[in-house]
Amino acid sequence: MVARDLLNRLKEMLGPALLRVDTPADDRIFIHVERDAIRAVCRHVFRDLGARYVISIGADDRPFSGQYLVAHDFAFDAAHLLGSVVTHVPEGDPRLDSITPDVPAANWAERELRDLVGIEPVGHVEPKRLILPDGWPEGAHPLRKDVAWNFVPEGYDPERAFKFGEPPPGCTVVPFGPFHPTLDEPAHFRLYVEGEVVRGCEYRGFMVHRGIEKLAESVLSYNDIPMAAERICGICGCVHNVAYAQAVEEAAVLRAPPRAEYIRTIMLEIERLHSHLLWVGLACHILGFDTLFMQSFRIREPVMWIAEKISGNRKTYALCLIGGVRWDLTLELIAELRRVLDTLEAEWRAVIKAVLGDKNVQQRARGVGVADRSLVQELSLIGPVARAAGVPLDCRRDHPYAAYDRVEFEVVTHEGGDVWARIVVRMKEVLQSIEIIRQCLDKMEPGPIQLAITDELPVGRYGLSSVEAPRGESHHFVITGENHRPRRWRVRAPTYQNLQAVPAMIKDQQLADMTITLGSIDPCFSCTDRFEIVDLATSTTRVWSAEELARLARAGRR
């Protein structure tokens, strides 16, 4: 019904500029429009229809259509509908009207379009590089099909520094990162501070961007990619593993067996458990409550053990193949998992009572790092950040996948939009995850865990998949392709969207609150691209370069 109403409104508004509309399922819609109509359509969808912006995708479609492709994905959460506004851009004029003036949440994604594909967002409010370093030469765009996955352009200057803006008058520049005691990964916040108050902020990240999407369309195959997807995030690996598999399955009109869907749901909730337990502990540590930090990690450890017993690994489970899962749950594992959940619930209720009653934590967290409803809407913030502002957004309910349509749970919300509200939301969500796993164990019936896929997957099909990670929605966009790999795979992790709100959240706050404000969105940046060797005999250290690691990897394969 919503898709039909949307189609009728767009036909009336656009006329011949509306090229076609595809509705492969009741909960999916792909709107193909002329290039000149893209901004008007996105403004209408976002402003008038109240859709939530998800991500923008750029693809080099020249080998197939002779043009570039751009898709802006939106979510109609109340209607359980995911949609994409799609257009093509001529090869000789790779420009497109920016939607950022109307949809502020598209800021980063459109800058990424320009960096990686070379499509210029005309009229963008902040025309600066995002992904590529400043020393990268103009005209070299890594996601174009005629650029190899290991391409290094001539003239690349790795020493060239990023150009930040000028600080406001009367402000001092305080760098936060790229390496900082409270940051596990490199990210650079340039804080503009007046006295002890932050008056502005500029962010520079993507220092160790790994090009996984390029590898997926160049080197890896459909069933190789889940392993790479799992390594996008050190905490939410199973989320990306499942989201990618579901996107391909949707495009190919495949559905995993019911038992596999229940197992995916169980492992996703196990991942949510250990992520929230980790985060609450780290938040308490940042606020000086180290007793709860240690208790959270102690309580978390049995969750890691049961994950290892199920999959063979504490964190990277290698769960999904296209059409199912690798691992089944035995009766012995199910019984042990139930015992772990019983103990966890009893101990976690005591933790909730301790934290909610601690006045010192409340004093450090209330009114700090506020992201209110209006900021959530404008920047399309997600996960606990949105729910802590009273916005009941949860992909498990709004866009159900795996077995979430067969379980009951509460979408936990709180008011205030501050650090304290995010603490409360995450702590209570632990109890919801326990109940979801119990329901899955009760309802899961014997059966196969993998489809028998004998035919090649169809080519040129679109697939969308949104999965609720502990940090918020992870969204995957896929166009199926030749050579048993996708033509385009686009990943939008939750931190990508929430991180854009940090300058607003920290503005006019105390400098000392920067750490917990940033920590409250549970940021995940990337893994570092080098490591350090320590000789225990001599206590000497050595850092290995990327080139040395590549040589070692090639030698190991031989």
pLDDT confidence of residue 535: 42
Q: What is the 3-state secondary structure (H, E, C) of 233-299?
A: CCCCHHHHHHHHHHHHHHHCCCCCCHHHHHHHHHHHHHHHHHHHHHHHHHHHHHCCCHHHHHHHHHH
Counting beta carbons within 10 angstroms of the beta carbon of residue 35, is it exposed (0 to 12), middle (13 to 18) or buried (19 or more)? middle
Residue spans of beta strands (DSSP E) within 6-113: 18-25, 28-33, 52-61, 67-76, 81-90, 95-97
The pTM assigned to this predicted structure is: 0.91
CATH placement of domain 2-163: 3.30.460.80
Which residues 6+ apart lie within 8 Å of 291 measured at CB? 284
Both tokens of 431, joined, read 């109890």
How big is the CA angle at 217 (ends 73 and 383), to the nearest 5 degrees? 35
Nearest to 221 by CA among 255, 248, 256: 248
Both tokens of 308, joined, read 């290892």
Q: How far apart are CA 414 and CA 397, in angstroms?
A: 17
Nearest to 27 by CA among 180, 246, 185, 293: 246
pLDDT confidence of residue 539: 44
* Tens digit of pLDDT at every position of the chain (558 positions): 577 777 788 888 888 899 999 999 999 999 999 999 999 999 999 999 999 999 999 999 999 999 999 999 999 999 999 999 999 999 999 999 999 999 999 999 999 999 999 999 999 999 888 988 888 899 899 999 999 888 888 888 888 877 888 888 999 999 887 765 555 667 788 999 999 999 999 988 887 777 889 999 999 999 999 998 998 887 888 999 999 999 999 999 999 999 999 999 999 999 999 999 999 999 999 888 899 999 999 999 999 999 999 999 998 899 999 999 999 999 999 999 999 999 999 999 999 999 988 899 999 999 999 999 999 999 999 999 999 999 999 999 999 999 999 999 999 999 999 999 999 999 999 999 999 999 999 999 999 999 999 889 999 999 999 999 999 999 999 999 999 999 999 999 999 999 999 999 999 999 999 999 999 998 876 533 333 333 434 444 444 455 654 565 566 544
- What is the DSSP pairing of strand 28-33 with strand 52-61? unpaired
pLDDT confidence of residue 277: 96
Both tokens of 423, joined, read 């603490």
pLDDT confidence of residue 527: 36
pLDDT confidence of residue 462: 97
Cα distances (angstroms) measured from residue 316 to each of 61, 239, 494: 33, 11, 19
Question: CA torsion sign, 265 to 393 to 364 to 351?
Answer: negative
pLDDT confidence of residue 185: 66
pLDDT confidence of residue 532: 36
pLDDT confidence of residue 11: 81
Contact 203, 189 (CB under 8 A): yes
Q: Domain locations in the chain?
A: 2-163, 212-450+467-519, 528-558
pLDDT confidence of residue 528: 31
- First-to-last alpha carbon distance for the chain, in angstroms, is 58
Q: How far apart are CA 280 and CA 272, in angstroms?
A: 12
pLDDT confidence of residue 158: 81
Contact 365, 498 (CB under 8 A): no
Which residues 6+ apart lie within 8 Å of 432 measured at CB? 409, 410, 412
CATH 3.90.400.10 fits 212-450+467-519, yes or no: no
Q: How far apart are CA 461 and CA 253, in angstroms?
A: 9
pLDDT confidence of residue 553: 52
Q: How far apart are CA 469 and CA 82, in angstroms?
A: 17
pLDDT confidence of residue 548: 59
